[in-house]
Chain A
Amino acid sequence: MNPIPIPEDRHFRPRLLGYDPQKSRPWLERLVYSAYVFVFWLIVIGTYAGVPALFEALGWNAGWGFVLMRALQVVLLFLLSAVIALLLILVLRKYLGKVQERYGPMHYGPAGGIQTVFDALKLLAKEDFVPAAADVLTFRLAPAVTFVASFAMFAVVPFASGWVLADTNVGLIYLIAVSTLSAYGVLLGGVSSGNKWALIGALRAGAQMVSYEIPLALVFLTVAVWAGSLSLGRIVDAQLGLWNVLPLALSFVLYVIASLAELKHIPFDFPEAESELIAGYNVEYSGMSFAFFFLAEFVELFLLPALIVVFFFGGWHGPLFGLEPGSLAAGALESLYFTVKTAVWVWIFLWIRATLPRYRDDQLMEFAWKAMIPLALFGLVLAAYLRLIWR
């Protein structure tokens, strides 16, 4: 370092808030992440325990009051997805920074903790531009469809025993339908942009997501055959003794690969390959529309690992330390287990993203049709056979 002090008068120097570049403070980062996870946890408790308790106390748990309660829960879940996106974008940038020997965001908030909030505010303030060649109605609809398709998955994901919006007995079919739906927004956005990069990105996205939909659905079926139910709550309950990851190891690996493709995540990020298609299907979007594409992506980045946990890692199961099952404290603890397991899987997805390069497009399709689908079918038959001889 040079002994001469830098003259203070000549240049603007931003201040580093809460970060000393000379000494690394990883606990500060962990504190920030924990704060986000705590907010997440609070919202989950409020959504699934607080709101129903409130409406029961008010006596509004029938008829239109019930509809109102569900609407309030959905609003809270929207808040939850915003928290998820803020946290996951921050973690992604910090983690990729560390892997690439950088620091990532660190100027705003403790250890850069509220950088993503400022990013969201910036996106809100930006002009929402519609190109002249675009089909305006479809162009406007596409981000909403993408987000709704991702967000609708929340309806059947159980955070703890009984903590689910709709514990329907067709949960798995609903999940297959909704995950197919998320290809819609991408296709519509790409087609209506009037931009060839967007069109190519949308075509790739459509081909990829529809292809990987099939092994994903087959794995869903495998899990359903093993648990004997299409309801996610009962699938979790069936794993009380043994987590599905052991008997269904093959399907588990296939699910991880297929959900990476479904997420349009590296190594399968053809629809938004930056080096080839600039940004693919969302190249013409700006401002809040773009933010909704982003929000949808990160909500899915939470939900697909959450489904891994539900299907293969025993969902909310964990030691309850003598708490009475079904009570508020037990529910809170169970949802914390669920959150932590999901967080581990999100981290593994980010780890994969930091490691692997992009495949080639034809290799991707070949892999889907020649390897994934036969293996998924084999896994389905294997699971059915094992179920016949074991139970």
Chain B
Amino acid sequence: MSLLQEVWQAVKAIGTGMATVHKRVYEDAPTEFYPYVKPDLPPVSVQSLALVENEDGSERCIVCLQCERACPAQVITIERHRNPEGKGFLIDRFDIDLVNCMYCAACVEACPVSSIVTIQDFEMSTYDLQTLKADIDFLHEQARRARQWYSPKFGVELRTEDGRIEKAPPEMQPGGLAELLKPAEEVDS
């Protein structure tokens, strides 16, 4: 009797499995047709780096060397000189070696003016590695091409409804007003 029960259970299990498989045939495949359709990436995804200019085309980077210091792989090389006409510095050279870069985005975290950003363009395959030794023109070009889809820096910038990137209000920034106003016990825990 138990043998018959076992056989019946086995038959039932196989039948259930085959029915399930048959249902799967009519479901749509979630495959993304990558080369023909650009995939939907998450809003913050580190695929490549770019250097953003201001809206009026002037340089946003203040050449503070924070990114160079933060870089664990030491692929950022910056040379600067003091601005003779005002305060601050001017860029002589801003190179990122995208071959050796490990895309940790530590430079993006370190940047105080959100000049260096991550973008979603991952199609960087090339026959010549030298093309990936990015200079400042390359990085600007990347940012111009990716203007509408580069990642806003979390907590500092916001993407508005119409797609522009704006500075986040102070209460949303980490270490900003909101954090100061938090109750003391919450900060302790």
Would you call B35 an interface residue if the criterion is a C-beta within 8 Å of the partner chain's C-beta atoms? yes
Of the residues A10, A22, A97, A356, contact of B17 by C-beta under 8 Å: A356
**Chain B residues within an 8 Å CB radius of A99:** 21, 24-25
Tell me if B's interface is mostly helix, strand, loop or mixed. Answer: loop
The answer to whether B1 has its CB under 8 Å from any CB of chain A is no
Question: Taking the complex as formed, is B37 at the interface, i.e. its CB lies under 8 A from any CB of chain A?
Answer: yes
Interface check A389, CB cutoff 8 A? no
Q: Does B161 contact A (CB under 8 A)?
A: no
Give, as a whole number of angstroms, the nearest-CB distance from B119 to chain A.
10
> Does B149 touch A at the CB level, under 8 Å?
yes
Is B24 in contact with A98, judged by CB distance below 8 angstroms?
yes
Encoded as 1 (CB less than 8 Å from any B CB) or 0, chain A from 83 to 119 comes to 0000000000001011111110000000000000000
Count of chain A to chain B residue pairs whose CB atoms are closer than 8 Å in the complex: 61
A351 partner residues in chain B, CB cutoff 8 A: 18, 21-22
Which residues from B are CB-within-8-Å of A95? 25
Partner of B29, one of A1, A16, A22, A98: A98
- A2 proximity list for chain B (CB < 8 A): 38, 40, 120, 149
B123 contacts the other chain (CB 8 A)? yes
Number of interface residues of A (CB under 8 A): 27
Q: Which of A3, A21, A100, A356 contacts B36 (CB under 8 A)?
A: A21
Among B21, B25, B120, chain A packs the most CB atoms within 10 A around the CB of B21
Report if A4-B30 is in contact (Cβ < 8 Å); known contacts: A11-B123, A351-B21, A356-B17. no
**A interface secondary structure, majority:** loop
The reply on A354 being an interface residue by CB < 8 A is: yes
Query: Are B30 and A101 in contact, CB atoms less than 8 angstroms apart?
Result: yes
Q: Do the beta carbons of B148 and A103 come within 8 Å of each other?
A: no
B31 at the A interface (CB under 8 A): yes
A11–B38 Cα gap in the complex (Å)?
Answer: 13
Return chain B residues, CB-CB under 8 Å to A352: 18
Bound Cα distance from A103 to B34, whole angstroms: 13
B43 CB to nearest chain A CB (Å):
12
In-complex Cβ contact of B37 among A21, A98, A103, A355 (8 A):
A21
As a 0/1 sequence over residues 1 to 14 of chain A, the CB contacts with chain B under 8 angstroms (1 = contact) are: 11110110011011
A3, A10, A103, A355: which contacts B123 (Cβ < 8 A)?
Answer: A10
Q: Is the CB of A4 within 8 A of B18?
A: no
Q: In the bound complex, how far is the Cα of B25 from the Cα of A95, in angstroms?
A: 8
- Chain A residue nearest to B21 in the complex (CB): A355
Total interface residues on B, CB under 8 Å, equals 26
Residues of A contacting B33 in the complex (Cβ-Cβ under 8 angstroms) = 16, 21
In the complex, per-residue mask of B45-57: 1 if CB is within 8 Å of any chain A CB, else 0: 0000000000000
Residue A363 interfacial (CB < 8 Å): no
CA distance A11 to B122 in the complex (A): 12
- B148's contact among A4, A11, A100, A356, by CB below 8 Å, is which? A4
Q: Are B146 and A102 in contact (CB under 8 A)?
A: no
Bound CA–CA A98/B23 (angstroms): 10
Q: Which residues of A contact B149 (CB under 8 A)?
A: 2-4
Q: In the complex, what distance in Å separates the CA atom of A351 from the CA atom of B23?
A: 11
Smallest CB separation, A127 vs chain B (Å): 28
Chain A residues with CB under 8 A of B21: 99, 351, 354-355
Residues of B close to A6: CB separation below 8 A: 38, 123
- A225 CA to B37 CA in the complex, in Å? 62
Measured in the bound complex, the distance between the Cα atoms of B27 and A98 in whole Å is 8
Do residues B37 and A101 form an inter-chain contact, with CB atoms below 8 A? no
Q: Does A24 contact B (CB under 8 A)?
A: yes
Distance between Cα atoms of A365 and B29 in the complex (Å)? 38
Q: Are A103 and B31 interface neighbours, CB within 8 A?
A: yes
In order of increasing CB-CB distance, the 7 nearest A-B pairs are A21-B33, A355-B21, A101-B29, A98-B25, A355-B18, A355-B17, A2-B38
Chain A positions within 8 Å of B, measured between CB atoms, are: 1-4, 6-7, 10-11, 13-14, 16, 21-22, 24, 95, 97-103, 351-352, 354-356
15 further contact pairs, Cβ within 8 A, besides A6-B38, A22-B37, A98-B29? A1-B37, A1-B40, A2-B149, A4-B149, A6-B123, A11-B125, A13-B35, A21-B37, A95-B25, A98-B25, A101-B27, A101-B30, A355-B17, A355-B18, A355-B20
